[in-house]
Amino acid sequence: MSEEDSGENLKEETSYEGENEQKMEELGCSESSEGKEQETVPVTRKRPEPKPPSQPAATEKPAAETVKVSDPPAVQTGWGYWGSWGKSLLSTASATVATVGQGISNVIEKAETTLGIPSPSEISSESKDSTGGSENPAASNADAADDGSSFPIAGALEVLSTISTAVQSTGKSVISGGLDALEFIGKKTMDVIAEGDPGFKKTKGLMNRTSTLSQVLREAKEKEEQQTATEVTMATEKKAHYGLLFDEFQGLSHLEALEMLSRESESKVKVVLNALSGEELDTLKEEMEQLKEAFSLPEFFEEEEEEKKGDEEFTKEVTELFSELHISSKPDKVISVRTSAHEWVAQFNSSLPEEEKESEENQEVGSRDGDQDAKKSVEDIHAFAIRSLAELTACSIEMFHKTAALFLYGQKQEVTATDRAKSLSQLTIMLCKELSAFSKEFTTCLTTAGVKEKADVLNPLITGVFLEASNSASYIQDAFQLLLPVLQISLIEARTELSQ
């Protein structure tokens, strides 16, 4: 301890006071000006474009014959795909917020035309048709929810309940096949119906303007905390608050720490660039450009898309990629979180046949017990899904934080900054794919367990999982971008050593 600082730092830590108030103002203004944000999506954030969907495996029983579906939603662009995550989602989210004032039907119309989903009137007439068929239990179930008064938000929102009711009433196979579409509707309406994560739903739009993600997230978390503490909320909401859980797993703190390292590095880089001139400056700039390129996340090829990774495969790949970084830490935490979540899903799936039989029996007897069991487990699945997403994201951000600290202060290694960036970008892609796979698995569990649930119970849970998975992927990609200035420092250091 007695040793004094080596004086390696070109600049002392910057202080961040004053920034808070400014942020608060920005947050306060967000609601009125959200719509403008679409244009301000950062250009450096190159994210993959949407990809054509594939057919989800039809694991469910076929729908009842009486149900007609004009456009199978499964054909539409799926969003569970990584492709539509990130940037495109950003504009979608802010667009939704912007339209709220103008009436929700526009939003829905937009969602429908994009997706090719039947219009509310088509749907409602169809759902009336379908409820005629008595052999479809889901339809009669949904019929009960069709009554507008049962839906908590009156007026324009009735139309929403009609849509979800219709989707539900078309039967099991449509739900599982059309998850993508369902989820897309959910995403559009998520910002309108207050549900799930009250504080978090607007972070998408805010991220464009605010320089630090952690600030926005902390603010959102605090709002959420306050809201949940003062309101009497629904049972599901009690269990699964992404923001609170993300903080509980120390995701916010690690993100803040990573941001700090990133900012410090950024200002050091500026000092160096200012001190250089002529050829020296040009070569460095060129190298930095190359490094920056490694930070654009590449698109993946289609074949990769549906490959389902086994546990060992994920572990092996992450470990290998991480070892390419040549640092002293290991990605153990991420791997164990991922593994235990998959074990939970596997256990759930293996326990299925029995449960299904049980609920059928209950149905015959007309007992309420079955319903209650199902209801409880749907909420449990949702809670576990949100928790796992929050934990995996927090651990991923912790991993990036530690990586940054070791890049800056660890032992020098024979590996270039650009090579490290490439491995990290691969790692980021793997994690985001994993989140996407997670969300699909969890929602499949939800649809399986919630066959008999009403649409307005099941759908918010499903959309909640998809929304948080997509948020998670964005946070991880943002965290990855924070490593750029850190690796720029590595690059500069390597050059300095070379010239000496």
The phi and psi torsions of 117 (rounded to 5 degrees) equal -85, 140
* Binding flag, residue 2, other proteins (CB under 8 A): yes
CB of residue 239 to other proteins, shortest distance in Å: 6
List the one residue out of 473, 471, 462 whose CA is nearest residue 181.
462
**How many CB atoms neighbour CB 485 within 10 A?**
19
- Selected from 238, 270, 316, 376, the binder of other proteins by CB under 8 A is 238
- Selected from 76, 91, 119, 329, the binder of other proteins by CB under 8 A is 329
CB of residue 31 to other proteins, shortest distance in Å: 7
* Binding flag, residue 328, other proteins (CB under 8 A): yes
Residue list 209-228, contact with other proteins (CB under 8 A)? 225-226, 228
How many residues bind other proteins (CB under 8 A)? The answer is 44
Distance between CA atoms of 497 and 479, rounded to whole angstroms?
28
Q: How far is CA 350 from CA 212, 307, 347, in A?
A: 43, 21, 5
CB of residue 345 to other proteins, shortest distance in Å: 22
* Binding flag, residue 497, other proteins (CB under 8 A): no
Contact flags string 401-440 toward other proteins, x per CB under 8 A: xx--xx--xx------------------------------
Task: Choose one: 141-149, 249-257, 344-352, 437-445; the region binding other proteins (CB under 8 A).
Answer: 249-257
CB of residue 276 to other proteins, shortest distance in Å: 23
CB of residue 401 to other proteins, shortest distance in Å: 7
With b for 16 or more beta-carbon neighbours within 10 A and e for fewer, the 219-229 pattern comes to bbbebbeebbe
CB of residue 15 to other proteins, shortest distance in Å: 8
Contact flags string 26-55 toward other proteins, x per CB under 8 A: -xxx-xxx----------------------
For 161, the token pair is: 């309940």
In the chain, how many H helices and how many E strands? 22, 0
Distance between CA atoms of 436 and 469, rounded to whole angstroms?
7
Instruction: Evaluate whether 471 touches 251 at the Cβ level (below 8 Å).
Output: no
Distance between CA atoms of 145 and 375, rounded to whole angstroms?
16
Q: What is the CA radius of gyration of the chain?
A: 24
CB of residue 60 to other proteins, shortest distance in Å: 32
List the one residue out of 248, 287, 275, 266 whose CA is nearest residue 404.
266
Beta carbons within 8 Å of 384's beta carbon, 6+ residues apart: 341, 344, 442
| Residues found near other proteins in the complex (CB under 8 A) | 1-3, 5, 8-9, 13, 15-18, 20-21, 24-25, 27-29, 31-33, 225-226, 228-230, 238-239, 244, 248, 250, 253-254, 257, 260-261, 328-329, 401-402, 405-406, 409-410
